[in-house]
Amino acid sequence: MRIIAILAVYNEERFIIPCLNHYIRNGIEVYLIDNESTDKTVENAEQFLDKGLIGIETLKRENVFSLRKQLKRKEELSHILDADWLLHIDADEYFVPLEKNKSLKETIKEIDNKGFNTVNFTECTFVPTIENSDHDYKDFLKTMNYYYPFCPYPSHHIRAWRKQKTPVELAWSGGHRVRFPGVNRYPKPLIMKHYIFLRNMKNEVMIRLKLKTDGMEIV
């Protein structure tokens, strides 16, 4: 079985290496859409070419961020790429299996064998804490250990699917849920680790909400 994750990036030099490492270790190939990054995102990614990263393309930014444009391109690629399953991912998101002794690829293969064609992911949003607030280094995956579950509605992240004979839809939901005729979702969600607070700290625009181990404090 061949599984390809489609990843769109813009100035993700702090995330791109651990992100690619994670998916490739889990048996997932990656196709990269670069939205005209101005940092070392592409340079850092190129070391993975022919080692799990199957391609890099440039999507013109035209001086504005357009999520819809990125998602429409992902829709096109999901129909074109030679894969059995596709994943829609971002650089600060890590899809993981429920069982530690299995890879993500092995887990999805088992789901496919059971006849299901989509997978939902429960989002675990990782946050800084007063006890350990600084994660601005490459080992943040090991040191950022506190999170809260985020699920504003059921099946919030249906972002893995078996390749269809006709194009699928992603843009309709802002990329949260893939849509196509005959969706048969696996009833047990997998996990998505999301490091959105780390991204916002780097951009210095986060709402300064920090967690203490014995409660919550706004500073």
CATH number at residue 52: 3.90.550.10
Instruction: Provide mean pLDDT across the span 103-112.
Output: 98
Question: How many residues make up the chain in this entry?
Answer: 219
Tell me if 103 is assigned to some domain: yes
Tell me if 23 is assigned to some domain: yes
CB 26 within 8 A of CB 105: yes
Tell me if 106 is assigned to some domain: yes
Q: Is 50 exceeded by the pLDDT of residue 114?
A: yes
- Tell me the residue type at 140: F
Phi and psi for 71 in degrees, rounded to 5?
-70, -35
CB 69 within 8 A of CB 92: no
Tell me if 7 is assigned to some domain: yes
Tell me if 45 is assigned to some domain: yes
Domain with 112 in it: 3-126+153-193
Alpha helices in the chain (DSSP H): 16-25, 41-46, 67-80, 104-113, 140-143, 196-203
Instruction: For residues 80 and 209, give the distance between their C-alpha atoms in angstroms, rounded to a whole number.
Output: 42
**pLDDT per residue as tens digits for the range 14-60:** 899 999 999 999 999 999 999 999 999 999 999 999 999 999 999 99
Alpha helices in 51-145 (DSSP H): 67-80, 104-113, 140-143
Phi and psi for 63 in degrees, rounded to 5?
65, 20
**Hey, what are 53's tokens?**
């990263």
pLDDT band at residue 214, thresholds of 50, 70 and 90? very low
Q: What is the pTM of this model?
A: 0.88
For the chain, what is the domain count? 1
Tell me if 145 is assigned to some domain: no
Instruction: For residues 59 and 57, give the distance between their C-alpha atoms in angstroms, rounded to a whole number.
Output: 7
